[in-house]
Structure 1
Amino acid sequence: MIGNWLLPEGLADTLPAEARRIEELRRKLLDLYRTYGFEMVAPPLVEYIDSLLSGTGGDLNLSTCKLVDQLSGRTLGVRADMTTQVTRIDAHLLNRAGVTRLCYCGTVLHARPAGLLSSRELLQIGAEIYGHAGFEADIEVLQLALESTRLAGVREPRLDLCHPGLVRAILDADAGAAAHAETIYAILRDKDVPALVELSGRVEGVRAETWQALRKLPDLYGGADVLARARQELPLLPGVAAALDALGQLIAALDGVSVGVDLADVGGYGYHSGVTFSIYAEGWHDALVRGGRYDDVSRAFGRARPATGFSLDLRKLAAGLPPAAPSRAIRAPWGQDPALVQALRSLRAAGEVVVQNLPGHEHDQDEFVCDRELALKDGAWTLRTL
């Protein structure tokens, strides 16, 4: 018999020490985003599926859990990503003409885990800039994403850049290849060159130079010199040149950051239109932060707006950090003596953690270490060191 305490696969409880660490990170990061001028929004956990998936790729549809609304009979989706919701708020509710900076934090649910060690429930936090198409917004978002990892205590974050417009330009230039775009994207996502060679042998109507360019992409990975190699090895298409120029401009503006380029990184939800990025660090098996430009998503809400941003999972971030040190606390006896009650109130108002031992019980908590005690001495409640 399955125990009532068992949870579905890919879901887990968050225990006290970990929950405290996650909440501390949430507060620090939201406070950081506010110092950059970002306003916080809080979209609902569930929306009509038509709105939730507007302007996004098929990957997000597969990741979204669906249910039927008992009031309307329409299909609802439990969000698997909050970016589209925040885009809807900017385009439809705020409806501002200028630049808008929005941040958010909330739970998202994946129908299936994204990877072998991934959870299905994420606590997503992120920041988005709307209304500016220039690279200045991309730089601000990149700098804020890196600052987020540094504030959390991540050492030596590594930034990987890509531009989905490059692959898109190669496919759009060849109608035969464009007809097999989904399959090609899946192969590139896995960097499966043998599968690409096999596909080229059985698919007709695709030019030889297109297959040649696609086979080179998985090898175009490394430092900034990859851009120069790509200009020599890839077709001289306007979309390819524009993508390489955009990547070069960003790399030139970043200082003191370990930067890599991966021109075959076509993962994610498929709605990005410009430079995309991932941040990696030692201690995490997958990207800590993902982001990029997605100018086309808001078009589905009737108002096209340039947009760029990033998000990360606070639970994943916390899991790779050193364990949080227990908090210092004050031990106090249980009682209703007015002087004791007033002493407790004053200490807590000053930000101290005061744990009262209930009658018949000793202090038994992992979160706090009681290094002081509130004791009655000479008729007055005073603190003493333990």
Structure 2
Amino acid sequence: MSNWLLPEYIQDVLPDEAWCIEQMRARILERLRVSGYQLVSPPMLEYVESLLINGSRDMDLRTFKLVDQLSGRTLALRADITPQVARIDAHLLNRQGVTRLCYAGSVLHTQPVGLSPSRELLQIGAELYGVSGLDADLEIQHLMLELLDLLGIGGVHLDLAHVGVFRALVRDAGIAADLEATLFGVLQRKDMTELRELLAGLPADKQAPLLALPGLYGKADDVLARARKLLPSLPEITAALDALQAAADAVGVLAQEVGIDLAELRGYHYHSGMVFAAYHAGSHDAIALGGRYDELGKGFGRARAATGFSMDLRQLYRLSLPVTTPKGILVPQRSDTDLQEKIAALRAQGEIVVVDLLGDLAHRAELNCDRELVLCDGSWMIVELKNQE
């Protein structure tokens, strides 16, 4: 096997894409900075217990693990940065009020998720701690949609859901934990035949709302109206539907369309309230994901109201408006004080200045320059670059 080949679903990021992604990262982080979010940078490697979310089997299977040669304990390469930020909020910062944090970094998955072409994602996101009300959910959703718009990604469809609806129905029906886990998987597949079989032993009035969940998806107003008719008037369900209605009304101005899917339980093992996902016609998978996860901090000894979102920069790069890589100015390799001063001045102005070490006309095009410095009447002048072929 050639030793330059990479593992499956692992790719290099080449210059044009790398620079564009870096510009996107900088623009997003700057918008987050001026919105009051403080940057943190957790390590790629931690003890496995810190990275697995509430015993989530999905996260466990997704996480690379290895043995620490120093301690003998099991380490893990992060598959998600959110638990790390929750740990930082809970212990290192330990603030009592509202905390806004953001991050950007690589995460690794043992298997590609969905139709993603990569097992290494460049995850960027924001988390808001210390507020349990709807205002925090709306701030996060607005911010996510604003960032997509900032990158020129329009035509976004936002899907909203609320794990509290399913949890309330399960609790009302007295369903045991093992059956609840099975129901969760069946609802994600919207397998009505298996769902009916699983619920066959329940009274009819407890079966009906659970059987209705897979069909409760579509445009927000329609779904919420049907949900109020088909689901029991439990306080938790009423509160969840009211929150979804308020969110749909509030974010409708930023998204092309807002939908509801009450059977969408993505992140069910750690999400505790409203969840959301942004979709775009140019991607098979969601382009941004988020939601409320008030219980995640329990694993670090300090539960905190929390909500946030994350996105993959490489996925966003494929959808964003094309960015042209700037061309540079070619300069000859010479020990000339005036030339060096001119180069320093141009670079201080943000210009790309490339020294032509080879002086080889045949390979000039590879240097990505469209101008050059030439000596005219004792002064270095910028002129159009010729003879690039």
Fold agreement, TM-score > 0.5: yes
The 3-state SS of whatever aligns with 2:60 is helix
1:165-211 Cα offsets, whole Å, 9 max, x none, are: 1111111222346431111111111222233234445xx4x333333
Give the distance between the partners of 2:279 and 2:53, measured in 1 at CA: 29
Deviation at 1:224, TM superposition (A): 1.9
Q: 1:207 aligns with which of 170, 189, 203?
A: 203
**Matching of residue 344 in structure 1 with residue 343 in structure 2:** yes
Q: Figure out how many residues of one structure are paired with residues of the other and give that number.
A: 380
Give the distance between the partners of 1:132 and 1:377, measured in 2 at CA: 65
Distance 1:75 1:207, change over 3 A: farther
Give the distance between the partners of 1:326 and 1:42, measured in 2 at CA: 28
With normalisation by structure 1, the TM-score equals 0.94
AA aligned opposite 1:228: A
Deviation at 1:354, TM superposition (A): 1.2
- 1:253 aligns with 250
Q: 2:237 aligns with which of 234, 240, 252?
A: 240
- Work out whether residues 98 and 130 of structure 2, in 8 Å CA contact, stay in contact via their aligned partners in 1: yes
The 3-state SS of whatever aligns with 1:127 is strand
Which residues in structure 2 correspond to 1:323-338 (within 5 Å)?
A: 323-338=322-337
Q: 2:218 aligns with which of 215, 222, 233?
A: 222
- Amino-acid identity (%): 50
Which residues in structure 2 correspond to 1:177-326 (within 5 Å)?
A: 178-200=177-199, 204=201, 206-225=202-221, 226-256=223-253, 257=255, 258-268=257-267, 270-326=269-325
Give the distance between the partners of 1:47 and 1:278, measured in 2 at CA: 28
Deviation at 1:252, TM superposition (A): 2.8
Deviation at 1:319, TM superposition (A): 2.0
1:118-159 Cα offsets, whole Å, 9 max, x none, are: 411111100001011111111110110001101111012111
Structure 1: stretches of 5+ with no match in the other structure: none
- 2:132 aligns with 133
Distance 1:373 1:28, change over 3 A: same
Deviation at 1:255, TM superposition (A): 4.3
- Work out whether residues 59 and 269 of structure 1, in 8 Å CA contact, stay in contact via their aligned partners in 2: no
The 3-state SS of whatever aligns with 2:298 is helix
Give the distance between the partners of 1:248 and 1:294, measured in 2 at CA: 20
The 3-state SS of whatever aligns with 1:97 is coil
**Matching of residue 378 in structure 1 with residue 385 in structure 2:** no
Give the distance between the partners of 2:284 and 2:41, measured in 1 at CA: 29
Give the distance between the partners of 2:246 and 2:33, measured in 1 at CA: 27
- Work out whether residues 129 and 137 of structure 1, in 8 Å CA contact, stay in contact via their aligned partners in 2: yes
Give the distance between the partners of 2:203 and 2:355, measured in 1 at CA: 76
Give the distance between the partners of 2:26 and 2:234, measured in 1 at CA: 46
- Work out whether residues 37 and 126 of structure 2, in 8 Å CA contact, stay in contact via their aligned partners in 1: yes
Give the distance between the partners of 2:294 and 2:263, measured in 1 at CA: 21
1:307-347 Cα offsets, whole Å, 9 max, x none, are: 01100010111123354313132122122211111111111
- 1:124 aligns with 123
AA aligned opposite 1:349: A
- 1:363 aligns with 364
**Matching of residue 49 in structure 1 with residue 48 in structure 2:** yes
- Work out whether residues 153 and 321 of structure 2, in 8 Å CA contact, stay in contact via their aligned partners in 1: no
Give the distance between the partners of 1:335 and 1:215, measured in 2 at CA: 78
AA aligned opposite 2:248: I
Give the distance between the partners of 2:51 and 2:370, measured in 1 at CA: 50
- Work out whether residues 60 and 269 of structure 1, in 8 Å CA contact, stay in contact via their aligned partners in 2: no
AA aligned opposite 1:240: I
RMSD over aligned Cα, in angstroms? 1.7
The 3-state SS of whatever aligns with 2:211 is helix
- Work out whether residues 333 and 357 of structure 2, in 8 Å CA contact, stay in contact via their aligned partners in 1: yes
1:57-102 Cα offsets, whole Å, 9 max, x none, are: 3322221111111111111111110111100100111011110100
The 3-state SS of whatever aligns with 1:128 is strand
Give the distance between the partners of 1:249 and 1:134, measured in 2 at CA: 12
The 3-state SS of whatever aligns with 1:133 is coil
